[in-house]
Amino acid sequence: MGKINDNLEILCEYQKNPLGIQNQHPRFSWRLTGEYGDTQQNSYQIQVWNGRKILWNSGEIFTSKNQAVSYQGQELQSRTEYHFSVEIEVQRGEKTFCFKNWGTFETGIFQNDQWKGCWIQPVYDSDAAPLIRRRFFLQQLPKKARLYIVGLGYQEITINGVKVGNARLDPGWTDYRKTILYRVYNIGKYLKIGENVLGVELGKGWYAMTHPFFEKAIGRQPDWNGTLKMLCNLWMDETCICTEEDGEWIATPGPIVENSIYDGEKYDGQLEKTGWNLPGYEPSMGEWSRVRKTEGPGGALISQILPEITEGVRRKPVYAEYIGEDSDYTMLIDFGQNMAGWADIRLEGQVGQKVVIRYGEVKGRDGSLDQRNLRLAKSRDCFILGRDGIQSYHPKFTYHGFRYVQIEMDPGIVIHSIEAVEVRSQVKRVADFKSSDPWLNRLYEMGRRTEESNLHSVPTDCPQRDERLGWVNDMTIRYENSVYNFEMLLFYEKWMRDLTDSQDENGAIPDTAPYFFGSRPGTHITSVFVLLPWLLYRFYGDRQIIEEYYEHLKKYVLFKLSQRTSEGILPENYIGDWAPPMTEAQWGWGENAVPANCPQSLFTTCYLLYDCMIMEKISDTLGKTEDCGLFAQEASMLNTAIQKNFYHPEKGYYGSGTQGCNLFPLFLGIVPQTEKGKVFQNLLYDITVLHQNHITTGNQMTKFLYEVLVKEGEVDQALKMTREKTYPSIGYMVEQGATTIWERWELLTVGHMNSHNHPMHGAFLVWLLKGLGGLEPVPSGKGPELNVHPSIPKELDWVEVKRESLNGEIRIKWEKKKKGVKMEIHVPWNTKVRVRIPEGYLYQGEKEFLLKSGNYEMFLNEQ
Ligand code: BGC
């Protein structure tokens, strides 16, 4: 039994050797790669130490569990580096092998009162983004140098003129009265002996933005709003330089004279303070002034470990033309793809000349940019040249949702190049879908891009207009598609905190989180609060997520239960199955997005039942027997109430009999066995005969439509609807030129609620991975387990689905052959897969079996 150390990859808090860990029970995960990938784990042992002191020795634990094992040792101290090792024994046939690897993690600052110094703010009367400067001298380079920093709203940090890290629009948005995210950087490589300069530029971000939209929406600024400020502890070995009102920290207005997330940025190069963040610069005290001590926003300071917002894909123009009267000076540029980010422009001109870049999703009839659907968001950047010659510019403290930009320039300016740069939370893509039908591949890609454009430290509804909020009703349907497609755990842990930060004493959560707009308590379609942690648990086997939030979830569901009418149902008259085709909506209010075709309370009550079903599973997993019984009982009562209030036995349908009305009960599996056939037939009749394969659903039920069709073996119907190209359908959007999914089923460009980059209607696309590929995680306390039960429609030749789990890649491919179907499955390390052979086929006479890690190729015979 030898020890082999290569190939064992180890993570702490889902990262390699992380900094700034603020969890007293960090989670360890590991996996084997390479040729040992087909082994299974017998046992693990974890040790954690600091210096010579062992803080935790798990002992040898005989289990296959290799994900999210929580540290159970002595209390961790702030700003301390810990070492850990993971040793595992694995089995391959008769043989066992041992593997061991070592890593480190370093803690952040656990308590607010462990920070040195105080919050500071610049004092001058200007709207310009401040430059804050702190000079310090080093006689020798420190062994360890860490920067703990938070600048609100947004910060851009340099040391000796070099940008620290890659983050943009940082730190993430929170309710700053409850939670403030700070960053930790290892800054050793930026330092030098002699004079050093820390430079921080502050943007307004969400914290300090003022905007007419706030007035319009809520009649005031958000309650967490404040003025620019920062807090910083720069530790170099035992020395700490901290923000203080000591005359060492000085500030001046910088060249970004205006900045706003919604409106964009104005940069006046003539106001640049050349060399301000470099050693040797002599600040003139007329221009610079001392900063002042101020109060912080009050929230707990938490280290930000979710993936940062950075620049990503860059796109070149696919079309450009001169437009308008002064045809030499205005250009319309098409990047061919709707996205979120900014333009990066290289131009030549003379000092004082300016360029305005306007952003938008659609072109008007006259060929110019149409920004009406951005509502009050001005979405434009302005660059004034500070010197003659060639220069580059992109904004820093804003982002835009756009496919087109319109450039208006002073005569004589020459544009050398322009690129559209994606800017978003860089969660990693972990899944892929390919099939013999390019149309499906295209829709899949479109759904993925729409989701990507809406991840900016918060899952937003849209990236372009005066909104960009974490709408909880949208997320109630969106969460699954994103968890399948991206590495979302740390991102969503942060958003779960946003949700709990916004939770009221009585358990209610509002419509958006971080909250400032929408109802409070929110409408009852907010179940993502319960559904999301459960899905994360299923994918990552991480109990902490359900444990940590359990009491919050319980309170939330109990609150909703307390809101039932004497009939035992939830009242609702607003969102429901929001934004169906306008032909199915109530006209004249709610932007023609409130469904007219079904009682909203059917959806809210069904969601409450769904909440109880999931709470039953969560409480069971956590061993909370009493709660488990309680939620089971409530679920049963809700079921009875739904049948009584909404089911019409003589007609065989729920509510008003529309698709949405029948879908939710079918999805939940609560339709009485004797009635199920009728209800399902009613659904099919509505789809195929009454609506010729079109949906009548809104943002919630479209996804359930696909779930139900697949579950009931109607995969051909699901495929047919995905291929539909006439109104209303996603295909119609594509036919009308959409490159990301719209908010409305109609092509709208007017100044109303109509974003062209809105993930909610794309939530159903998860069916490609889940239905056609058959991929589904199973809850398991031991090790990862997956169900694989693909569906094979008549009119598709092959499908290939991949997903990179913590244990490695799971891959499923099926392909029709002359006789039967060839199916290939790659099961990653230490993972179990329960395969169910698709309808109509058998494998060696079998329908269901279990596979362990390895590569499998099988021929399925028609049944
Ligand atoms: C948002 C939606 C949201 C809705 C609810 C809209 O403005 O963009 O995504 O579901 O409001 O009222």
User: pLDDT tier at 761 (50, 70, 90 boundaries)?
Assistant: very high
Measured in Å, residue 743 CA sits from the centre of ligand 1 at 9
Q: Is the pLDDT assigned to residue 429 strictly greater than 60?
A: yes
CA 846 to chain centre: 40
Q: Can you tell me the mean pLDDT for 240-262?
A: 97
**Token duo for residue 293:** 């001590």
Is the CA virtual torsion 678, 680, 685, 690 positive or negative? Answer: positive
Residue (of 546, 573, 577, 572) closest to 560 by Cα position: 572
Per-residue pLDDT band at 708 (split at 50, 70, 90): very high
What value does the mean pLDDT of the chain take?
Answer: 96
Give the per-residue pLDDT at 285.
84
Mutation to probe ligand 1, out of 216, 474, 477, 758 (largest number of atoms < 8 A from CB):
474
The average pLDDT across 172-191 equals: 98
Residue 177 CA to ligand 1 centre (angstroms): 25
Ligand 1 contacts (CB < 6 A) are: 461-462, 467, 471, 473-474, 575, 578, 753, 760
User: Closest residue (by CA) to atom 4 of ligand 1?
Assistant: 471
Is the confidence at residue 851, as pLDDT, over 60?
yes
Helical spans, DSSP H, in 576-700: 600-621, 625-646, 659-668, 673-685
Tell whether the model's pLDDT for residue 743 goes beyond 70.
yes
pLDDT at 435: 98
Residues in CB range of 346: below 8 A, 6 or more apart: 390, 391, 392, 415, 416, 417, 418
Report the phi/psi class of residue 329: left, alpha or beta, with left for phi > 0 and alpha for psi in -120 to 50.
alpha
- Nearest atom within ligand 1 for CA of residue 753: 7
DSSP 391-413: EEE--SS--EEEEEEEEEE-TT-
- Paired sense of beta strands 81-92 and 179-186, if any: unpaired
Confidence at residue 4, expressed as pLDDT on a 0 to 100 scale: 55
pLDDT tens track for 392-414:
999 999 999 999 999 999 999 99
Per-residue confidence band for 779, with pLDDT thresholds at 50, 70 and 90: confident
For ligand 1, atom 12, name the residue with the nearest CA: 575
pLDDT for the residue 2: 47
Q: Name the β-bridge partners of 42.
A: none
Torsion of CA 441, 442, 448, 450, to 10 degrees: -160
Percent of the chain with pLDDT over 90: 94
- Distance in angstroms between the alpha carbons of the first and the last residue of the chain: 46
**DSSP letter, residue 846:** B
Residue 846 has pLDDT above 70, yes or no: yes
Q: What is the pLDDT of residues 573-595, one digit of tens each?
A: 789 999 999 999 999 999 999 99
Give the per-residue pLDDT at 124.
83
Which pLDDT belongs to residue 781? 64
Ligand 1 site-directed mutation target among 213, 528, 578, most atoms within 8 Å of CB:
578
| Predicted local confidence at residue 1, as pLDDT | 42
Distance 471 CA to ligand 1 centre (A): 7
Q: Which atom of ligand 1 is nearest to the CA of 574?
A: 12
Count helices and strands in the chain by DSSP H and E runs: 14, 46
